[in-house]
Amino acid sequence: MVRFFGEELRRSGSRRSSVQRPFIVNYVGRKPLINVFYVSGIGVIGAGLITYLIIDTHNLFWEEELKNGQVIFPLRWIMRVLWLHKSVIENLNKLREWRGETIEDIPTRSGLQHVTNQEIRKSLISFFSEKIDEIKNTLKFFEVKEKELKPTVSTLKYRYVAEGVSEDSISRIINEIKKELIIDDDVIRWFLAALKAGRNVILVGKPGVGKTILAKRVTELLRYKPIIAVANAHWSRYDVIGGMMLRGGEVMWKSGWLFIALVEHLKCKKENLGCRGAYLIIDEVNRADVDKAFGDFFTIFAGIEPSEWIIPEALINEVRSYTVRDQYGEELLKFIDNGDLRYIKNVGYQVPSDFRVICTLNYVDIRNLFILGEAFVRRFARILIDYPSDIDKELETLFHRASREFSSDIVNKFRNDAKKYLKELIEELRKIERLPFGPAYVYSLIRTALAYMSLNPNERPINALKIALDTSLTLSILWDDELRNNVRGIIDKVLRV
């Protein structure tokens, strides 16, 4: 790895870098981390921009790790490829045809090695400055690869319409969602399309952008019952699937969230409860140790197609082996015995094709959280929910929402005097990668300021905004001095009036 323009990876040599829990750093700074691809005997064949650094002490990856059964190289990274040698692009599957180039003064290194030598940096900058056309061709090459996925996109749209959901009903759902949430139309549309196309979904984004509410409201508007579970680090197979529980000295079966949601799904379909089924919503799924909690989940949801979702017969037999079972265990067996789940001989019982699992994942302050491995993630469609693209529109929506709670005079006074400062605060604070400052946080800020003005009618809106900032921006224990100083510096600069 080469850091072109200086600035060490924050605290790379501190004790924090040796933390034994896995974490992800989404590093988007002013100084890029560039990874150069070197092959022994061939030379430099490419380079990429590192977008994530991962400390993973749980998942085995390298051959030595698989052989020894433990993580040996916990530092891993994900990158965006910017340049590949022409021979690599033209011979992706023919490694013997690959050719490389030599960069003067570059020593052979492996892993992430921070280069500080100014002569080496000059050589690197000179080398890549001459590769502009090849960089453009590389980016174009990956654009072509992405376009090859478009038939899948059209298939999603076709299946979505084929299931009887009209464009009018799609628009209605989007309009209903946008009464509560500030989320771009395309994000909602793709979420709907993924669900209707038979995919389980992970909604990814920073805290406060509306992931959980979106999952719940879409589920309800599609006329399914939301079953919401909040994951935590103590989750195990017992929480997801179920297992043994002692009650009054008696051993019994206790169902986990997946079986609870499946039973609720079948009850909705069978008992005319005003819903078409149920969806399981797992909030903050990255707080769980996936390897520990979701082993049977992997087995049940073996592929991305609903036809591949099978509850193993052995798992149902496990439930039957208990003479005492909770309500959901009893009801699940009744549905199975009544033939409500299709039986595949010597294999198991098919999960209803319209059942879905929706997860939410936060990616801020995730140093103390668990990493979702590829085995888990590939079973889901991943949809990113970013900050709203139009801050003016976001603020007008939030002010309109506030007018339902506060007098129009107070709302208008605050809007007229404080909006430009609030807009600048949002723009600047959202540049801090580790700081969550989504619409939910902004609305909390607005409500706090308006509540203070309601109690103090003569207070200047700018002072109410300052007080709201002091009480609304959580000084989390995960904040360090750098983050705290950055936030305070922005507030002082913007509100110096």
pLDDT digits (tens, 9 = 90+) for 278-321: 999 999 898 888 878 888 898 899 888 888 899 999 999 999 99
Q: Which residues pair with 243 in a beta bridge?
A: 254
- Looking at residue 340, what is its pLDDT? 94
Higher pLDDT, 13 or 59: 59
Residues 6+ apart with CB under 8 A from 82: 47, 48, 49, 135, 138, 139
Question: 371: pLDDT confidence band, cut at 50, 70 and 90?
Answer: low
Distance CA 200, CA 308 (A): 13
- Looking at residue 245, what is its pLDDT? 86
- Using the predicted structure, report yes or no on whether residue 16 has a pLDDT greater than 50: no
pLDDT digits (tens, 9 = 90+) for 458-488: 889 999 998 888 777 755 545 677 888 888 8
- Looking at residue 27, what is its pLDDT? 39
The proportion of the chain whose per-residue pLDDT surpasses 90, expressed as a percent, equals: 32
pLDDT digits (tens, 9 = 90+) for 198-239: 899 999 888 889 999 999 999 999 999 999 999 988 898 999
Residue with tokens 């909690």: 293
- Looking at residue 47, what is its pLDDT? 85
Q: Which helix (H) or strand (E) holds 358?
A: strand 356-362
Task: Please give the C-alpha separations between residue 37 and each of 9, 47, 382, in angstroms, as whole numbers.
Answer: 20, 5, 28
| Among the ranges given (160-164, 178-182, 269-273, 362-366), the one the predictor scored with the smallest mean pLDDT | 160-164
Give burial (CB, 10 Å; 0-12/13-18/19+) of 14: exposed
Domain-by-domain residue ranges, the chain? 2-147, 161-384, 391-494
The average pLDDT across 245-250 equals 77
235-241, long-range: CB < 8 A, 24+ apart: 235/287, 235/288, 235/289, 235/292, 235/293, 236/289, 236/292, 236/293, 237/292, 237/293, 237/294, 237/295, 237/296, 239/293, 240/293, 240/294, 240/296, 240/297, 241/296, 241/297, 241/315
Picking from 446, 453, 452, 462, the residue whose alpha carbon sits closest to that of residue 497 is 462
| Among the ranges given (5-14, 338-347, 381-390, 397-406), the one the predictor scored with the smallest mean pLDDT | 5-14
For 161-384, CATH gives 3.40.50.300
Question: 333: pLDDT confidence band, cut at 50, 70 and 90?
Answer: very high
- Using the predicted structure, report yes or no on whether residue 356 has a pLDDT greater than 50: yes
Contact indicator for 7, 29 with CB cutoff of 8 Å: yes
Higher pLDDT, 365 or 285: 285
- Looking at residue 268, what is its pLDDT? 92
Question: 100: pLDDT confidence band, cut at 50, 70 and 90?
Answer: confident
- Using the predicted structure, report yes or no on whether residue 56 has a pLDDT greater than 90: no
Pairing of strands 242-247, 250-255: antiparallel
Contact indicator for 441, 208 with CB cutoff of 8 Å: yes
- DSSP state at residue 325: B
